[in-house]
Chain A
Amino acid sequence: MSPKSYLTGLFGRSPIRPLQEHMTKVYACVKQLAPLFAAVVAEDHEKVADTQHWIAQLEREADGLKKNLRLQLPMGLFMPVDRRDLLDVLMMQDAIANQAKDIAGLIVGRHMTLPKEMHELFLKYGDRCLDAVVQAQKVINELDELVETGFRGIEVEHVKSMIKELNDIESDTDRVQVKLRDILYGLEDDLRPTDVIFTYQLIERVGNVADYAQRVGSRLELVLAK
């Protein structure tokens, strides 16, 4: 006879920690872009391939966490955050990892190298985009504090300023992106046209990482505004 108490049934499992764990995994995955880009610049193809496997593996793990969290959010759960908003945040987090996987796939698939003129700025660009993900993760890690304070007051202001910083980082990446495109444009005539097309695509996709990170923040901002 196993003793039961219906009061336990009243408390649903909090989605906050799983959401944070997912974000941690997403960051672990995206973080691998730094060694990947370094390997691309160094034209170390073996390292590129290795890192790509890693990224794919971590992306799969993040996917598993995402599915678990989705299953854990049945209707009829009463939460301080709207279920839809939570799922949207999750979707954005997921998009970050997906983007990293696609970037790695693109680089490996096309044996990509970068023109020397772009190296320095591209690495900087990559780092800045990762900064955005780091900041988004910080924001997500504030969620348990937000629940603790009941989504009001000082903590909300604190998170809002963090989101503002996230937006600033993302604007930064936009500016770098423009510069990178400029450099690439100037080099177009000396490069294989298909390579040019995909290099533009690579620049855009790396920017998307920061873009999705920012959207994680703006989703949360909507929650705070409610």
Chain B
Amino acid sequence: MDHYLLFLILAAVFGLFMAWGIGANDVANAMATSVGSRALTVKQAIVIAAVFEFCGAFLAGGQVTTTIRKGIVDADAFTGKPELLVYGMLSALLASGIWLLIASRKGWPVSTTHTIVGAVVGFAAVGVGVDAVQWGKVGTIVMSWVISPLLAGVIAFAIFTTIQRLILDTETPLDNAKKYGPVYILIVSFVIALLTLSKGLKHVGLGLSPGESLLAAIGFALVITAAGVILIRRVKVDPEADREFHFASVEKVFGVLMIFTASSMAFAHGSNDVANAVGPVAAVVSTVTASTHDVLQKSPLPVWVLLLGGVGIVIGLATYGYRVMLTVGEKITELTPSRGFSAELAAASTVVFASFTGLPVSTTHTLVGAVLGVGFARGIAALNLRVVGNIFMSWVVTLPVGGFLAIVFFYLFRALAP
């Protein structure tokens, strides 16, 4: 294939643009509950997001990237005409990036995941042929969009109920918060570590056997939990605040716990949503290199592509995302740390699990599902259900718009192609 360098550069630029968009808006939403419940300052949230988004993308982002890269389109349909795949993936990136930019400015609840999937399906189905789409896989993905918020809601409901039983609804909520808080950290860090390790970290030069993975996960979880215990010990009781609101000190413990769930959220988001930017880039890169080396679609995911996604997200966060976070922090004041903790724990677990299975889900929608789950446990003073309606509407709009834009760009690229 000619002009492969041009394609590589375009892919990198568009991918960076898309990753920037994700960092600018999506990440802020993922961190919103932490900032809103005052568990983290905006600065802290940005640092945590930057570090863990990057880790998530780099360490656990491979599966979803593979799905976006070659799970939605059927590689066989492009045999003999690999340039179509390149045009298509470039169009999908550009279409999604632009749509996200518009939606972010308008404050529409648009999911990056839905946009990119819509765009990829769009260019493949219309530009190449209906058979070029692996409809079975697409069906699974769409199902996962319904299931992930529901699952997160159920988990959040369950987690919040255990918090009520074990901590809030007891004679000594503060002691119990200090006692059981680390247990939650232990479980969540173990699960996330195990899921991440079991899919292998070969690309960072760390190949572990299942037994070693298990041991490493246990070790990791214990270290994290120890850190949690130390931080929780440092929580000071404020008798003045406790008189005003009896659970003030208890909530301070949850504020500490939220540092860990916020990190998990950022990690989960990185592991799943970064693929929306990285996947198409990877597809272009592998197609281009395959054509020059006569190996089709066999090349593993290049590490620099994952790095590109991670860097793009951090730039987006630093240049624009922090402003979104500031607004979010000002507006969500009704969420207390114990609720934010339940919601984030549920959402992060669900998303990391989805990343593990290679399903691209929407982190924000999952988080919304989790928040509603806490609400159904009578935990949140007021929730505006109309937002849920808006989210549903955004699905209906985003898929065709993403697809349509991608189709337009696809034909444009083909017409302009040298």
Contacts and interface: CB of A to CB of B under 8 A. Distances in A.
B168 interface: yes
B42 to A, nearest CB: 12
Interface stretch (B210-218, B331-339, B404-412): B331-339
Contact of A3 (B324, B367, B387): B324
Given A4-B107, A11-B332, A149-B169, A77 B384 contact: yes
A2 to B, nearest CB: 7
Given A11-B332, A76-B384, A5 B168 contact: no
Interface string B311-332: 0000000001001101110011
Contact of B245 (A7, A80, A145, A155): A145
B168 to A, nearest CB: 5
Nearest to A79: B382
A148 interface: yes
A77 B381 CA distance: 10
A178 to B, nearest CB: 38
A117 to B, nearest CB: 43
B170 interface: yes
A212 interface: no
Contacts of B71: none
A80 B372 CA distance: 12
B25 A5 contact: yes
Interface in B165-187: 168-171
A6 B391 contact: yes
A15 B382 CA distance: 7
A13 to B, nearest CB: 6
Given A77-B385, A149-B169, A154-B171, A144 B245 contact: yes
Contact of B331 (A8, A149, A151, A153): A8
A153 B164 contact: yes
**What's the interface size class on B, roughly?**
35 or more
Contacts of A1: 105
A9 B367 contact: no
B381 A9 contact: no
B32 interface: yes
A147 interface: yes
Contact of A78 (B160, B171, B328, B383): B383
A151 B379 CA distance: 8
B304 interface: no
Interface residues of A, number: 32
B355 interface: no
A172 B98 CA distance: 71
Contact of B107 (A6, A13, A77, A149): A6
Contact of B380 (A11, A76, A144, A154): A11
B377 interface: yes
Interface string A12-29: 111110000000000000
A5 B328 CA distance: 7
B387 A149 contact: no
B160 A150 contact: yes
A1 to B, nearest CB: 6
B322 to A, nearest CB: 9
B108 to A, nearest CB: 7
Task: Count chain A CB atoms within 10 A of each CB in B33, B164, B328, B378 and give the residue with the most.
Answer: B378
Interface in B372-417: 372, 375, 377-388, 390-391
B383 A5 contact: no
B364 interface: yes
A152 interface: yes
A10 B368 contact: yes
B381 A153 contact: no
A78 B387 CA distance: 11
B109 interface: yes
A80 B381 contact: yes
Contact of B382 (A2, A3, A77, A145): A77
Interface string B66-96: 0000000000000000000000000000000
A79 B383 contact: yes
B371 interface: yes
Contacts of B203: none
Interface string B7-34: 0000000000000000001001100110
6 contacts: A3-B25, A5-B32, A5-B324, A6-B29, A12-B384, A149-B247
Interface of A: 1-16, 76-80, 144-145, 147-155
Interchain residue pairs A-B with the least CB separation, the first 6: A4-B107, A153-B169, A14-B381, A12-B382, A80-B378, A8-B331
